Structure 1
Amino acid sequence: MPQLDSRIDEYIAKAQPFAQPILLHLREQIHRTCPDVKETIKWGMPHFEYKNEVLCSFAGFKNHCAFTFWKAALMKDTALLQNAREETSMGHLGPIKSIDDLPVRFTTLLQEAMLLNEQGIKLPRKTTSAQKECMLPPEFEQALRKNHRAWEVFDKFSYSHRKEYIEWITEAKTDATRQKRINQAVEWIADGKNRNWKYK
């Protein structure tokens, strides 16, 4: 039996209507290809672990879904490598707006990712942050880019400071709260403040 996490059920139920069948399909394909995969939530988004390491993750946004292979930088597909270098918020498969946007080789890519975990191959330290940061929410990125000072500061933040803001925004329960947090985050970041500046 698949090891399901009810938090992912809730995540999918709250996703945009167009995104729900895509996320359900991705979840089903992951479990079909890797029966021993374990589900969890990290940084507010569904992640899938295999052999005690993250295998992949997906997310639903306002206008598209994104899928990330945790070790895409070590995989053979040139498009994945390019996306990994660019740290794109669209994920390693580009923007997914329907099931038809998924590559026909999706299962093969999953199997390659599984093999990397089975062999215990690790990402180089400098690419680990790039992999994690590729899921920067598009709405947050757009707001940051509109404020030159905020984008400049955020770009120089340590990985942990970036993660704190991303988690705070992605864990918002409603779109209104999410937008409020984005606005507040941009204001604080423009002032050079990290997420927990009030407590320091």
Structure 2
Amino acid sequence: MKYYKTVDEYILNTENGKEILIILREILKGTELKETIKWGSPVYTVNGKNVVGIGAFKSYAGIWFFQGALLKNEEGVLVNAQEGTTKALRQWRFSDVNEIDEKLVLKYVNEAIENQKKGKEIKADRKKTLVIPDELKEAFLKNKELEIAFNEFTTGKKREFADYISQAKQEATRLKRVEKIRPLILKNIGLNDKYRK
């Protein structure tokens, strides 16, 4: 996956849904939101807080609302992209430019802006305990330097590594993932650091 430095570059390099993104971008540029790039994709903020983003995927392009679960969604256009995983984020998907109703998009965007200004947000569950998978514990027993390097990370970054391994269903895959993250840990690079700005 490529990470672009500007929204123009992102849209120019989009294969599917380019026209949808152009229209959504124009709608968003007509609001008070500030356009930026985060994680290589277009994101729109108010007072430095993420409100919406736009992106293109294989079968659709769309807009996502970082705190979309708080929106009224009376028209039922918003979906949870990862049911059971994503608490706040909601997407509105378009497969054709003719599906875009500018007034309706603005209604949702303006509600999202107002919610952000009022400080309404669903907080991420930060109290989730860190569970080190057995495969990683084994790697620590074989390599103390790896364990020391791992312990230098913040709890959040440790959790990203642990979850990455644990989410694999098969032991062989979990072991491969341990090998994949080993050099990152030793170089003090977080699993998702390349996505952070």
TM-score surpassing 0.5?
Answer: yes
Stretches of structure 1 that go unaligned for 5 or more consecutive residues are 128-156, 165-186
Paired with 2:44 and 2:179, the residues of 1 have a C-alpha distance of: 29
Match for residue 178 of structure 2? Answer: 193
Task: Indicate how the Cα distance of structure 1 residues 7 and 159 shifts in structure 2: closer, same or farther if over 3 A, else same.
Answer: farther
Residue 190 of structure 1 and its aligned partner are, at CA, apart by 6.4
- Larger relative helix fraction: 1
Paired with 2:163 and 2:6, the residues of 1 have a C-alpha distance of: 20
Match for residue 22 of structure 1? Answer: 20
Task: Indicate how the Cα distance of structure 1 residues 58 and 194 shifts in structure 2: closer, same or farther if over 3 A, else same.
Answer: farther
Stretches of structure 2 that go unaligned for 5 or more consecutive residues are 127-156, 165-171, 187-197
CA displacement 1:76-132 (0-9 Å, x = unmatched): 1163675267249xx6213x22122235521100110010111122222239xxxxx
Q: How does 1:44-63 map to 2 (within 5 A)?
A: 44-63=40-59
The 3-state SS of whatever aligns with 2:54 is strand
Match for residue 168 of structure 1? Answer: none
Residue 67 of structure 1 and its aligned partner are, at CA, apart by 1.6
Paired with 1:198 and 1:83, the residues of 2 have a C-alpha distance of: 34
- Within the alignment, does 1:124 sit opposite 2:109 as a pair? no
Match for residue 13 of structure 1? Answer: 12
For the 8 Å contact 1:48–1:55, the answer to whether it is kept is yes
Q: Count the aligned residue pairs.
A: 139
Residue 41 of structure 1 and its aligned partner are, at CA, apart by 1.6
Match for residue 73 of structure 1? Answer: 69
TM-score of the two chains, using structure 2 as the length reference: 0.57
Task: Indicate how the Cα distance of structure 1 residues 14 and 108 shifts in structure 2: closer, same or farther if over 3 A, else same.
Answer: same
For the 8 Å contact 2:79–2:92, the answer to whether it is kept is no
The 3-state SS of whatever aligns with 1:63 is coil
CA displacement 1:113-159 (0-9 Å, x = unmatched): 010111122222239xxxxxxxxxxxxxxxxxxxxxxxxxxxxx977
Paired with 1:116 and 1:163, the residues of 2 have a C-alpha distance of: 31
CA displacement 1:35-91 (0-9 Å, x = unmatched): 3x2122222211111122001001112332132101111111163675267249xx6
For the 8 Å contact 1:39–1:46, the answer to whether it is kept is yes
Match for residue 150 of structure 1? Answer: none
Paired with 2:179 and 2:68, the residues of 1 have a C-alpha distance of: 29
Paired with 1:81 and 1:158, the residues of 2 have a C-alpha distance of: 32
Structure with max Cα Rg? 2
| AA at the equivalent of 1:97 | S
* Residue identity (%): 22
Paired with 1:52 and 1:194, the residues of 2 have a C-alpha distance of: 37
For the 8 Å contact 2:55–2:63, the answer to whether it is kept is yes
